[in-house]
Amino acid sequence: MSRKDAEMDARRITLGKKEVLSDHWGTLSRYSFEYSRRDGTLQHLTREVYDRGDGAAILLYNKTQNTVILTRQMRFPVFLRDGQGDLIECCAGMLDGEDPEVAIRREAEEETGIAVKDIEEVAAVYMSPGAVTERLHLFIGAYTGAMRIGAGGGLAQEGEEITVLELPFPEAMSMIPDGRIADAKTIILLQQVALKGLCTFLPSV
């Protein structure tokens, strides 16, 4: 979409009432607004929107070993949905006002114990744009054993109990179709590493 098209789309929305429903970890608000449809008719709509700030995620890979670093941790919403709360995913966290690169380096050290050097942002994406304002900055970064500065595991005071997983890349990729990896950001980043040829994966014939 061009900038001109985006500006035209923005003018199609006239904000009305905003009601804050909850303001704790994030802010849940109910908005009413008037939407000008492309056929010229006006539609009055109501939406609930959750704002918890933006985040960042990183997939650490080792091209020589053909491995990646993932984590396993309890995710309460997953427990509510599936009855099993542990989720395998890449390192991630909220920005909390920091620059995305600064924030994800901090998260990588806290969660995985690795002080990664060179990293690359590959995308900034909306993960659930129907209800959540969060934009997630996605990074990849090469790691070696020499970069390890601690055991990782996250911060207990934040309720984190993280298991660090170093997996062969083909194994990690095989965990997508069978559902062992069901986290969207992790799937995107694993596929990015494959597309860039940073790790190799040969699917079964």
In tens, the pLDDT along 111-131 reads 999 999 999 999 999 999 999
Per DSSP, the three-state class of 155 is coil
What is the third-level CATH fold of 55-195?
A: Nucleoside Triphosphate Pyrophosphohydrolase (3.90.79)
pTM of the model: 0.89
* pLDDT of 8: 56
Q: What percent of the chain has pLDDT over 70?
A: 90
Outline where the chain has alpha helix (H): 3-10, 76-82, 100-112, 169-174, 184-195
Q: Measure the CA–CA gap between 139 and 89, rounded to whole angstroms.
A: 13
Residue 10 has pLDDT above 80, yes or no: no
Map out the domains of the chain as residue ranges. Answer: 3-51, 55-195
Residue appearing with tokens 């494959």: 194
Query: What's the token pair of residue 12?
Result: 């199609």
Per DSSP, the three-state class of 81 is helix
Contact call for residues 36 and 50 (beta carbons, < 8 A): no
Identity (one letter) of the amino acid at 161?
Answer: E
Query: What's the token pair of residue 84?
Result: 């099993």
Q: Measure the CA–CA gap between 89 and 87, rounded to whole angstroms.
A: 6
